[in-house]
Amino acid sequence: MKKYAGLFFGSAAALVAGAASLYGIAFMANLTPIAIDIGPAEPWPKALAVDCILLGLFGIQHSVMARRGFKRWWTRLVPEAIERSSYVLVASLLLLLLCLAWRPMTDPVWRIDQPTIRLLLQTLFWAGWLMVLVAGLLANHLELIGLQQVIDAANGRLKTTLTLTTSGLYRLVRHPIYVGALIAFWATPDMTAGHFLFSAAASAYTIFGTFLEERDLVHLFGDQYRQYQQRVRMLLPFPK
C-alpha cells in the first residue's frame, strides 16, 4: 500500500507540475486573467514588495530543497522515492501562488512597434519554451518530475541509475533547459517594469542555481562530468 500511495502522490505531483508549468507560460504571455502585465492596479511600492516576496519564496524553495544536505534530512522524514515528487509539488504550488498573487507594474521599460521585430521576439519567446521541453525530454523527463522514482518503487525495482545526457542540445550547452528559460524571460516586444523585475530575478536565480547544480553534478558523476565541462560550455553555445 505504501508503494502505491507513493505512486499516487508522485502522479498527482506530476499533474500539478504540468498544469503549473502551462499556466506559468500563459502568465508570461499575458494569456491569463491575472498575468505579468494584467491584474488589479496597486501603488508601485506595494506591488514591488508583494512581487519581491513571491519571487523570493520561489527562489528560496528551489535553492534549499534541491541541495544534497536538505535531501538527506528530508528523506529521514519521507520515503526516498517521493523526495523528488515533494520538491516538484511544492515548487509547482509556489509557482501558481506567484502567478495568482502577482501585482503588475505596467510602466514601460521598452516597447517595440516595428512588426517584424515584434514577431521575431514573440517567436523567440515560444522557441525558448520549446527548447525547455525538448531538453527535458532528451534528459530523463520522468526522473526530473519525480515519476520515475515512484514507478520504480511501486514495481519493486532498485532506484534507476542516473545517466549523463550529452547528446542533442546537450552537445551545445550543458544546461539547455536554463538557456531556453532565459531566452523566454527576455523575449518580449513590450517590457514593463513588472516583467523586467520578474525576468531579472528569474535570470539571477537561474544563473546562481546553475552553479549550485554544477557542484552537485560533479559530486554525482565525478570525472565524467568534469570531462563534459571541458568539452561543452555551461550556458553559451560557443565552441571551446
State pLDDT tens for residues 73-82. 888 888 888 8
**What's the burial of 177, exposed, middle or buried (CB within 10 Å: 0-12/13-18/19+)?**
buried
- Integer Cα distance of 197 and 36 in angstroms: 10
For the chain, which residues make up each domain, given as ranges?
Answer: 2-231
* pLDDT per position as a tens digit, 76-116: 888 888 888 999 999 999 999 999 999 999 999 999 999 99
Can you give the pTM of this predicted structure?
0.88
Residue 1 has pLDDT above 70, yes or no: no
- Integer Cα distance of 63 and 42 in angstroms: 30
* pLDDT per position as a tens digit, 183-229: 999 999 999 999 999 999 999 999 988 998 898 899 889 999 999 99
Q: What is the 3-state composition of the chain as percent helix, strand, coil, each rounded to the nearest 5?
A: 70, 5, 25
